[in-house]
């Protein structure tokens, strides 16, 4: 009976935005969900996206189904963004998916059906949806150490120890390619070399989640870790999202890219990825992929996109600096300089769940219970106000 079904818990992150919207206070700030906001506090449609949509409005001929693996021009553009133009194209199968979440689910189903008995190792902590998606795909989920006890730096020794000792050959290891969510803590270039070497020598499958390309050190620089992995490992799976770097959140645009050791193995794996897609959603939505393909096929729109994305990235860097400087002004407040070393939208602030609660109830500042803050949500005009609130609860 449906009436015997228990109520499910709300999404830990998306639920906070619902509460924020219902908060009637004039002075409030939402630092929870990971969406970019501009100085006016809105999540804008990129100008390059509007221009591409204008073009599509005039030129699009059909809304008929896309191929199971998506738009060819989109797939080609994704391959270049991820792998550069020198990687052998016949060793990388790109499948357009509904967002990065869709990519993770397709990858999970593929691993569960084609690579059993693989388990997937997730960093501790990670994006909360990772374990839900992988479990739903039927995979065993394990964790490896990532964040140090200081909650602001990588415990690399513990990470390497876990990946060496807990894994079996054939297990998959999920790595955030850049801008680790929720901590902002990424491995250095030298650490990526060691991770890649370990994955290769232990026969582990690299599963790279790449949702923030362009938000760390820049579009090309952010792909360096992934490319290091591919120098050591001849097989890998990349789950990429264009929700953030094209601002296309609700259009659901992502990709799973499978790299195999030979063109024949790549083609075979692609055939199985298509089986997974057909059983999930048949074929991907057109609009978001068309936008990305249109932008990246046009040099002027590509230039616009890169400039807009760079503006986003630099704004987040500036907000980190403003917040750190603002906290220095607060008598007795802890030092937040560690935020300057972290990458992307997120950082762990060090706020406890109780302090996060107090911040919300007393001051109208909404952060995730783990203390994660979305730096991109900070309103520049209200940095002082925010710092006073944070100092008050800490």
Instruction: List the catalytic residues.
Output: 127, 209, 244
Q: How far is the CB of 11 from ligand TYF (least distance, A)?
A: 5
- Return the residue matching tokens 């009436």: 3
137 backbone dihedrals φ, ψ, rounded to 5°: -75, -10
Q: How far is the CB of 211 from ligand PLP (least distance, A)?
A: 4
For ligand PLP, the binding residues in 295-354 under the rule CB under 6 A are none
Q: How far is the CB of 211 from ligand TYF (least distance, A)?
A: 7
State the DSSP code for 326: H
Based on CB atoms, which residue is closest to ligand TYF, 71 or 134? 134
Contact of 343 with 376, CB cutoff 8 Å: no
Q: What sign has the CA pseudo-torsion 259, 71, 302, 255? A: negative
164-198 burial, b at 16+ Cβ within 10 Å, e below that, comes to: eeebeeebbbbbbbbbbbbbbbbbeeebbbbbbeb
Based on CB atoms, which residue is closest to ligand PLP, 164 or 250? 250
Q: How far is the CB of 132 from ligand PLP (least distance, A)?
A: 12
Residue 70 near ligand PLP by CB under 6 A: no
Q: Which helix (H) or strand (E) holds 374?
A: strand 372-374
CA atoms lying within 13 Å on the CB side of residue 255: 30
Among 96, 118, 145, 241, binds ligand PLP (CB under 6 A): 241
Q: How far is the CB of 101 from ligand TYF (least distance, A)?
A: 7
Contact of 244 with 49, CB cutoff 8 Å: no
Based on CB atoms, which residue is closest to ligand TYF, 127 or 215? 127
Q: Look at residue 317 and give the partner it binds from ligand TYF, ligand PLP, none, a contact being a CB closer than 5 to 8 Å depending on partner kind.
A: none
Token pair recorded at residue 320: 């980190």
Contact of 187 with 353, CB cutoff 8 Å: no
Contact of 234 with 204, CB cutoff 8 Å: no
Contact of 212 with 178, CB cutoff 8 Å: yes
Based on CB atoms, which residue is closest to ligand TYF, 9 or 57? 9
Q: How far is the CB of 242 from ligand PLP (least distance, A)?
A: 7
Binding site for ligand TYF (CB under 6 A): 11, 13-14, 33-34, 127, 129, 181
Token pair recorded at residue 10: 């709300």
75-94 burial, b at 16+ Cβ within 10 Å, e below that, comes to: bebbbebbbeeeeeeebbbb
Residue 109 near ligand PLP by CB under 6 A: no
What x/- string results for residues 192 through 231 when contact with ligand PLP is judged by CB under 6 A? -----------------x-x--------------------
95-120 burial, b at 16+ Cβ within 10 Å, e below that, comes to: bbbbbbbbbbbbbbbbbbeebeebbb
Based on CB atoms, which residue is closest to ligand PLP, 241 or 370? 241
Stretch that binds ligand PLP, among 93-101, 270-278, 288-296, 357-365 (CB under 6 A): 93-101
DSSP 188-221: -HHHHHHHHHHHHHHTPEEEEEES-TTSSS-TTG
Based on CB atoms, which residue is closest to ligand TYF, 228 or 288? 288
Based on CB atoms, which residue is closest to ligand TYF, 13 or 29? 13
What x/- string results for residues 125 through 164 when contact with ligand PLP is judged by CB under 6 A? --x-------------------------------------
Q: Look at residue 209 and give the partner it binds from ligand PLP, ligand TYF, none, a contact being a CB closer than 5 to 8 Å depending on partner kind.
A: ligand PLP
Q: In the complex, which residues of this chain contact ligand PLP (CB under 6 A)?
A: 34, 99-101, 127, 176, 181, 209, 211, 241, 243, 254
């Amino acid at each position: 009976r449906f009436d015997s079904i228990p109520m499910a818990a709300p999404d830990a992150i998306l639920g906070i935005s619902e509460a924020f919207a219902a908060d009637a206070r004039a002075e409030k700030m939402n630092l929870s969900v990971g969406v970019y906001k501009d100085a006016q506090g809105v999540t804008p449609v990129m100008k390059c996206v509007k221009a591409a949509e204008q073009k599509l409005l005039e030129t699009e001929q059909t809304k008929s189904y896309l191929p199971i693996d998506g738009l060819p021009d989109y797939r080609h553009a994704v391959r270049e963004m991820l792998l550069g133009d020198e990687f052998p194209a016949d060793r990388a199968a790109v499948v357009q998916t509904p967002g990065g979440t869709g990519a993770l689910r397709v990858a999970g189903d593929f691993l569960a059906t084609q690579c059993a008995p693989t388990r997937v190792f997730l960093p501790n902590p990670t994006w909360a949806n990772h374990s839900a998606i992988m479990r739903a795909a039927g995979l065993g989920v394990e964790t490896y150490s990532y964040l140090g006890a200081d909650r602001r730096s990588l415990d690399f020794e513990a990470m390497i120890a876990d990946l060496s000792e807990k894994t079996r050959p054939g297990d998959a290891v999920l790595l955030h390619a850049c801008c680790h969510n929720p901590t902002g803590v990424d491995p250095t270039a030298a650490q990526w070399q060691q991770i890649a070497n370990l994955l290769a020598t232990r026969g582990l499958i690299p599963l790279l989640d790449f949702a923030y390309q362009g938000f760390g050190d820049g579009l090309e620089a952010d792909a360096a870790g992934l490319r290091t992995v591919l120098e050591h490992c001849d097989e890998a799976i990349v789950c990429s999202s264009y929700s953030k770097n094209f601002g296309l959140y609700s259009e659901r645009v992502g990709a799973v890219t499978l790299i195999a050791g030979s063109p024949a193995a790549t083609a075979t794996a692609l055939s199985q990825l298509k089986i997974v897609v057909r059983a999930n959603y048949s074929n991907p939505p057109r609009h978001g992929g068309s936008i990305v393909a249109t932008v990246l096929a046009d040099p002027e729109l590509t230039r616009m996109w890169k400039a807009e994305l760079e503006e986003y990235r630099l704004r987040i860097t500036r907000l980190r600096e403003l917040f750190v400087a603002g906290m220095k002004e607060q008598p007795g407040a802890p030092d937040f300089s560690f935020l300057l070393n972290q990458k992307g939208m997120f950082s762990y602030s060090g706020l406890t769940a109780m302090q996060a609660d107090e911040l919300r109830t007393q001051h109208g500042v909404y952060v995730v219970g783990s203390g994660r803050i979305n730096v991109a949500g900070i309103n520049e005009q209200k940095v002082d106000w925010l710092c006073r609130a944070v100092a008050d609860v800490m």
